[in-house]
Structure 1
Amino acid sequence: MKTRIFALTFAAALVLSCQAKKAAIANAPATPEPPQVPTAVTVTEAHAKGQSLYENNCARCHKLYAATNFSQADWKPILARMQKKARLDDADMGLITNYLFDLQKN
């Protein structure tokens, strides 16, 4: 008799815990969209290369930040520090910097 009560209690707990997980998943917020390039930006070859470099090099180690998350003054030391870690040359770093600063203008 005790075994049946234990089995029924365990089964009820299992069913209730699964329903709680389904409700939590259903109420979870949608995953955030990555930062979008404003439509007013004229996409040039340099802009596209800067975007590609930013997305491919920076996202290897951490999430990508929107250009507007930091001011240009804040970006400069961040980019200088990350250039060394990502082993980017000055030309590539210039493209990334121009890409981020162009996004802030719009």
Structure 2
Amino acid sequence: MKSTFLTFAALALFLASCGTQKSAPVAATEPAVPPTETAKGVTLTPELAEGQNLYSNNCAKCHKLYEPKKFTQEEWTPILVRMGKKAHLDGTQMASITNYINSQL
């Protein structure tokens, strides 16, 4: 009888520990995002900040991030097209990243 009780207690503890995964609360509405500043003091609109976020999070997965001023706008265009395909980014995401890069040139 004790072994049956201990088996059920262990099983209940195991199931309880597996089912209590914590998750971050999800906001019902997106809060207003104030403009942010880059390291060089350039104020970013929420749209440009989203492009910066996409650039930082998607591009840094595979390689180091380059400063936008390292290349000209003409040099960035084929780089962004090629890397956007590799990262499986949609048109909206690519436009956001492109706008961010161009705003920093």
Superposition TM-score, scaled by structure 1 size: 0.62
Once residues 37 and 75 of structure 1 are traced to their aligned partners in structure 2, the CA distance between those partners, rounded to angstroms, is: 21
8 Å CA contact 1:51–1:96 kept in 2: the answer is yes
Q: Distance in 2 between matches of 1:85 and 1:65?
A: 17
Count of equivalent residues: 68
2:103 aligned partner, one-letter code: D
Q: Larger Cα Rg: Structure 1 or Structure 2? A: 1
Q: Which runs of 4+ in 1 moved over 4 A?
A: none
Q: 1 or 2, which has the higher helix percentage?
A: 1
SS in 2 for 1:54: helix
Separation in 2 of the partners of 1:43 and 1:78?
A: 23
Distance 1:37 1:44 in 2: 15
- TM-score of the superposed pair, with normalisation by structure 2: 0.62
For structure 1, the residue ranges without an aligned partner over 5 or more in a row are: 1-35
Query: Considering only aligned residues, what root-mean-square deviation do their CA atoms show, in Å?
Result: 1.0
Counterpart AA for 1:76? T
Q: Which residue of 1 aligns with 2:72?
A: 71
Could you say which structure has the greater relative contact order, defined with CA pairs below 8 angstroms and 6 or more residues apart?
Answer: 1
Aligned to 1:54: 55
